[in-house]
Structure 1
Amino acid sequence: MKPHSGKVDVFVRIRPTAKFSRGLIECLPDGQTVNIYNRKDSRKLQDSKKGQLSFWSFRLEGVLKDVSQEEVYARVCQRVLQGALEGYNGTVLCFGQTGAGKTYTMTGSTESYQYRGIIPRALQEVFREVDKRTEHSLSVLLSYLEIYNETLVDLLSPQQGSTHRSRGMAVVEEAGRGMFVRGLSLHPVRSEEEALNLMFQGEMSRIIGSHALNRNSSRSHCIFTMHIESRSRSLSDATYITSKLNLVDLAGSERLGKTGSGRQMLTEATYINKSLSFLEQVIVALADCHRDHVPYRQSKLTHVLKDSLGGNCNTVLVANIYGEAAQIEETLSTLRFASRMKCVRTDPTINEHTDPAVSSHNITYPVSLF
């Protein structure tokens, strides 16, 4: 499957709520446009301007309102996963305010099969493809990285007790390999069941907290990665392809006055908001064709995601928002970020390699003329 022409696809998903504000949030029938109306009520405004409505319109690839987890996966991730099987790197990011549904979109609920999120659905599909593509040998390895307070954490660490320590892990870049985390463990999996067990193991190790907007708030950024290699079963074919599929659940931005965070959560929120601010700075720089320098190294998050944001990758963003009037400022902030993301261009190319061990056996020598 060929990638899109280097553009980032952006979707907005609206969290279902009984308090949905139809007067301030309008989803147009085209399924791609969401309009936001915000009533100004600042003391700095003159009395004649108090209460006036401001209007913003955002056109995206899709507005996901009252849709199933199955439809979200089909529209957001399926094309990216199929591209990964053809040798293109892929990334799906969930971005938005705390409690807006990012983790539900990415991992879903374990209470019901139909409420599975993008990660378990992608694992199911990749192993179905492994069974179908009998002419190729496909191998799948998994990693699960957490970035907590600017510390790299291996959620699948094989060493007991080291889950919440970095153990010398570092973000590095190599020619032909791109960005990767040195010291992050890779785990080969041969079935959907094995893969799901590893995913659940990582989920149990994630750092979460509870505050006024979310009982199970992610206090860190998490990147679940599928590393895929596909080789022809033909002994004479020396070429093979590789790819990475990053499924990213970003920690939610917070306004501390609304979450009522304590001291520890205040520290966490400060790190979260700072890293998301650096992410936005990177997006602004990438969208500006006159900027030569992009500040990827400002944070661990932007450094790890360098390829996903402006390199060799098919990238999709899901902007998760509330549909409530009380969260309208945060909704506007999220949609502005999503709008900027649409201006970013990537350069997806097939990761094709040649196995020297195979090619050396296929050398043909010229026939002697004598």
Structure 2
Amino acid sequence: MSSQASPVKVYIRIRPTANFAHEIIECLPDQQTLKVRSRKDSKRGKRNNQLSSWVFQLNGVLHNVSQEDTYDRVAHGVVLGAFEGYNGTIMCFGQTGAGKTYTMTGAAETYKQRGIIPRALQEVFLEVEQRADHTFTVHLSFLEIYNETMVDLLSSLKKGKCSNSGVLTVVEETGGGVSVKGLSLHLVHNEEEALNLLFEGEMNRIIGEHALNKHSSRSHCILTIHIESRSRTLSDAKYITSKLNLVDLAGSERLSKTGSEGQVQTEAMYINKSLSFLEQVILALADRRREHVPFRQSKLTHALKDSLGGNCNTVLVANIYGEAAQIEETLSTLRFATRMKCVQTKPSINEHVDPVIIKQWSVDHPYSKIVPFYPKA
């Protein structure tokens, strides 16, 4: 099925703070434009009073926006698209401690603070209930990439398809997409089962502590919801599938600010390196003259090949601080977000034909392919 190019949607979410730098960061009334002012770097320790300014035009600026409104603007359409057979990806990018995990997973304190992932799981099963004319099969997988090693966060659970305690590898599929060989798939029947798997995987995640974040994610995580849909009303061999990738990227960080040492410092170096490779892929995708895109440079970019340049509706949430002390990292995140907005994917419906039904149909109707010829009188 032909597909049209669709630009990646990009939203900026600003972490709430009592020390918001109004003199530096300005959110325009259109809720899509961000102005940033900063003093130019001075040389030899001399103060430079000259101001530089930048304007960033995006799909949305989420400032003092609730978790519910964030989900509605960022994720709702992508989740509904999955029920029409379109793959979807929602990922959070930004400096460590800027609110990526809060945006994706949320906080356990109150129900209102749930993030995109639990809300998406809820909406998936609400849709399953409402679409009575179809049968749905839903599986979950939960992948972690830590220090360039892929880990199955649900490998401790015995049930599930393709369960494998061995090494996980990214493999190219015939249609041009990718999958992770050896990653376990777990059948879920309702929201409660899905949330239990989410919590199980979250408990197995690698976290650490440094100056900017006491509970810093030290790895990239990809929770994938696999959906298969078949019609109850049509005796048709066709069915559709889709994947929803919900990605919580580890935070970029400057070692001079975080004060990381030892193992945490090593982790930070791996994180920064993989995010650098991600940026190189984005630059290559945004440049229409480039023929080669270096997806295989890292496990992260290879695993996200579909999401970044393939068959997928993709949304990026760039999380930033609203404080003056973090302005350099904020500008770096905003520049990345702007480049991501230039990337285009080609989402198309994942439609398949079931060979078992075709075979059974031909047995039941052995003469169906014989077209009778009646000469005109």
Would you call these one fold, judging by a TM-score over 0.5?
Answer: yes
Whole-Å Cα distance in 2 between the matches of residues 308 and 350 of structure 1? 15
- The 3-state SS of whatever aligns with 1:335 is helix
Q: 1:250 aligns to what?
A: 249
Query: Where in structure 2 are the equivalents of 1:235-246 lying within 5 Å?
Result: 236-246=235-245
Whole-Å Cα distance in 2 between the matches of residues 26 and 296 of structure 1? 35
Query: Where in structure 2 are the equivalents of 1:22-101 lying within 5 Å?
Result: 22-44=22-44, 50-101=48-99
What is the TM-score with the length of structure 1 in the denominator?
Answer: 0.94
Whole-Å Cα distance in 2 between the matches of residues 194 and 339 of structure 1? 38
Q: 2:312 aligns to what?
A: 313
Q: 1:214 aligns to what?
A: 213
Q: 1:340 aligns to what?
A: 339
Whole-Å Cα distance in 2 between the matches of residues 5 and 286 of structure 1? 13
Q: Against the structure 1 CA distance between its residues 107 and 202, is the aligned structure 2 distance closer, same or farther, given a 3 Å change threshold?
A: same
Return the offset for 1:178.
Answer: 1.8
| Equivalent residue letter for 1:323 | G
Return the offset for 1:86.
Answer: 0.7
Whole-Å Cα distance in 2 between the matches of residues 74 and 214 of structure 1? 27
Whole-Å Cα distance in 1 between the matches of residues 272 and 78 of structure 2? 28
How many residue pairs end up in the alignment? 362
Return the offset for 1:158.
Answer: 3.3
1:213-259: CA deviations, max 9, x gaps?
A: 00100000000000000011136211000010000000000000111
Q: Against the structure 1 CA distance between its residues 365 and 298, is the aligned structure 2 distance closer, same or farther, given a 3 Å change threshold?
A: closer
Whole-Å Cα distance in 1 between the matches of residues 291 and 41 of structure 2? 40
Verify the 8 A CA contact 1:91 1:246 in the aligned structure 2. Answer: yes
Verify the 8 A CA contact 1:81 1:122 in the aligned structure 2. Answer: yes
Q: 1:118 aligns to what?
A: 116
Whole-Å Cα distance in 1 between the matches of residues 184 and 316 of structure 2? 26
Verify the 8 A CA contact 2:97 2:251 in the aligned structure 1. Answer: yes
Query: Where in structure 2 are the equivalents of 1:150-189 lying within 5 Å?
Result: 150-158=148-156, 167-176=166-175, 178-189=177-188
Verify the 8 A CA contact 1:153 1:166 in the aligned structure 2. Answer: no
What is the TM-score with the length of structure 2 in the denominator?
Answer: 0.93
Q: 2:131 aligns to what?
A: 133
Verify the 8 A CA contact 1:41 1:51 in the aligned structure 2. Answer: no
Whole-Å Cα distance in 1 between the matches of residues 144 and 223 of structure 2? 9
| Equivalent residue letter for 2:32 | Q
| Equivalent residue letter for 1:100 | A
- The runs of at least 4 consecutive aligned structure 1 residues that moved more than 6 Å come to none
Whole-Å Cα distance in 1 between the matches of residues 165 and 260 of structure 2? 26
Verify the 8 A CA contact 1:279 1:301 in the aligned structure 2. Answer: yes
Q: 1:18 aligns to what?
A: 18
Q: Against the structure 1 CA distance between its residues 12 and 368, is the aligned structure 2 distance closer, same or farther, given a 3 Å change threshold?
A: closer
Whole-Å Cα distance in 2 between the matches of residues 68 and 365 of structure 1? 58
Whole-Å Cα distance in 2 between the matches of residues 11 and 369 of structure 1? 61
Whole-Å Cα distance in 1 between the matches of residues 360 and 131 of structure 2? 25
Whole-Å Cα distance in 2 between the matches of residues 132 and 237 of structure 1? 21
Return the offset for 1:150.
Answer: 0.2
Unpaired segments ≥5 residues, structure 1? none
| Equivalent residue letter for 1:244 | K
Query: What is the root-mean-square deviation in Å for CA atoms of aligned residues?
Result: 1.8
Verify the 8 A CA contact 2:155 2:165 in the aligned structure 1. Answer: no
Q: 2:370 aligns to what?
A: 366
Verify the 8 A CA contact 1:140 1:227 in the aligned structure 2. Answer: yes
Q: Against the structure 1 CA distance between its residues 339 and 89, is the aligned structure 2 distance closer, same or farther, given a 3 Å change threshold?
A: same
Whole-Å Cα distance in 1 between the matches of residues 157 and 194 of structure 2? 19
Answering whether residue 266 of structure 2 is matched by residue 267 of structure 1, we say yes
Verify the 8 A CA contact 1:10 1:318 in the aligned structure 2. Answer: yes
1:186-212: CA deviations, max 9, x gaps?
A: 000000000000000000100001111
Q: Against the structure 1 CA distance between its residues 365 and 50, is the aligned structure 2 distance closer, same or farther, given a 3 Å change threshold?
A: closer
Return the offset for 1:84.
Answer: 0.8
Q: 1:109 aligns to what?
A: 107
1:35-56: CA deviations, max 9, x gaps?
A: 11011242258x6x82211001
Q: 1:355 aligns to what?
A: 354
| Equivalent residue letter for 1:274 | K
Verify the 8 A CA contact 2:239 2:351 in the aligned structure 1. Answer: yes
Return the offset for 1:360.
Answer: 2.7
Verify the 8 A CA contact 1:209 1:219 in the aligned structure 2. Answer: yes
Q: Against the structure 1 CA distance between its residues 347 and 368, is the aligned structure 2 distance closer, same or farther, given a 3 Å change threshold?
A: closer
